[in-house]
Amino acid sequence: METKKKILLLTTNKNIKIPSQELNYSFDILEVQDLYYMSKDQIISILSNIMDKYDNIILPGNIIWNFNDLNGKIVKGTEFINYLFDMLKYVKIEQLSPEVSADKLFPNEIKKIVENKKKRYKKPIFKIRNLKIYKRYPIRVFAEIFLNREEDEKNLMKKIKSYIQDGADTIIIGAFSSINYKYLKRILNNIREIYSIPIGLDASIDILKKFKDDVDILMSFNINNITDNINWIYDKATVLLVNDINNDIIKKIKDLKRKGMKLILDPIAYPAIYPGFLNSLIRSKKLSNLGLPIMIGINNVTELMDADTTGTNALATFLSIESGASIILTSEVSVKNQGAVFEIKKAVNMAEESIILKKPPKDLSLNLLGLKEKAFMENDIKIYGNRDNIYIEIYGKTKQISCKDNCPLSNLYDLDKKDLAKLSITIYRYCSPWSMNWNC
């Protein structure tokens, strides 16, 4: 019988459940409370008397020190120990690095771990057509298109197609009262004929009542008018706006739930600062113990903020999910918010990985870094330095610029045009956010 390799895990938490049969290793645990505050020499000093007893010593992947000089004896595992043993099902300890975390070395394996854990999802609260709706995750993305007039049907269907390709699980049509009913009927029928995903309608009660049989989701009711219209809502998924929370409202929501309604609670997301997104998140958190799915429309947050949407959509999505939402609603009304469905779907996938792995949304199998880089570039073009002194090495030449200059790219005009075009975009990214003030 093959002898199991002896492995020592250095950790700040000794209460770790070690799998008994799945791995061909024998693990011991050494708890070091101040591990992240120690120097490299201090860590080695702790291990000096016991190092020879083990084949390898695994440190947390986010320890900053490099242990290259110890011939692979000390290596870095995952950044959080929650999924270290899952990683070791795919990766041998000999493949781990003394310098870089397993998360950064093996993003594809991180993805496999997440996919396997997703198979353990609990039962959904209910289905909308074939789409399972959960209280926690998987998290769904609803994309809304607003219609206040007759748009070209071909262009509208192209837009719907692009939303679905970007990750929308459901298409919501926001119909203004001015909409032509025949046109709306035609659009809803076209979506149904082409796509199998659920269709929602966000409109006045009169329009909802008229088109209830053409859609799967009815938006949006408040706590007063939903009871007046309950007789024709039937088994449709119904979005209930919740702008205030008190005992009476909670009781009415519970009564509707007991009647078997497919309720989706919407705590109404308001823009940041004024009136304030935080209160929306607080409402969501308070509603999260009712056992119903919560939808947060973050388009109100990102559309009404002059900031790049890659970051704002990600953060608004993360905060919404943290507050209890399992459905994120968005739209792409403004030019600035184009691509929001794609950004939010990616943020949702990041959030799910983060929840499953029990780690912050960093060093996952995917990211939303579109403008900035996590490290300086080192290939045929090398870029390094800080805001005041950025050094660019390209084909044996070294250039120096400052991100604070009015137009630092002017220092590079002697380069080949093709190289200059490539560098302009790259340097703009490295100098962000100061590059927003350039005047070239």
Q: Which fold has domain 126-357?
A: TIM Barrel (3.20.20)
Which pLDDT tens digit goes with each residue over 96-148? Answer: 999 999 999 998 999 899 888 887 777 899 999 999 999 888 899 999 999 98
State the alpha helices, DSSP H only, in 202-246.
Answer: 205-210, 225-228, 230-233
**One-character DSSP codes across 321-363:** HHTT-SEEEEE--SSTTTTHHHHHHHHHHHHHHHHHHTS-SSS
Share of the chain above pLDDT 70, in %: 96
pLDDT at residue number 227? 84
Which pLDDT tens digit goes with each residue over 337-390? Answer: 888 999 999 999 999 999 988 899 988 888 888 776 676 555 567 888 877 788
Question: Where does the pLDDT of residue 194 fall: very low under 50, low under 70, confident under 90, or very high at 90 and above?
Answer: very high
**What is the average pLDDT across 207-218?**
94
| 214 CB-contact burial (10 Å; exposed 0-12 / middle 13-18 / buried 19+) | middle
Tell me: pLDDT of 423 over 80: no
Question: Where does the pLDDT of residue 295 fall: very low under 50, low under 70, confident under 90, or very high at 90 and above?
Answer: very high
Which of 105, 56, 112 shows the shortest CA–CA distance to 83? 112
Can you give the residue ranges of every domain in the chain? 5-106, 126-357, 381-437
Question: Model pTM?
Answer: 0.82
Cβ-contact 398, 391 below 8 angstroms? yes
Residue 411's CB is within 10 A of a number of other CB atoms, namely: 14
**What is the average pLDDT across 398-420?**
79
Q: Give the chain's mean pLDDT.
A: 88
Which pLDDT tens digit goes with each residue over 22-45? Answer: 778 888 888 888 888 989 999 989
| 436 CB-contact burial (10 Å; exposed 0-12 / middle 13-18 / buried 19+) | exposed
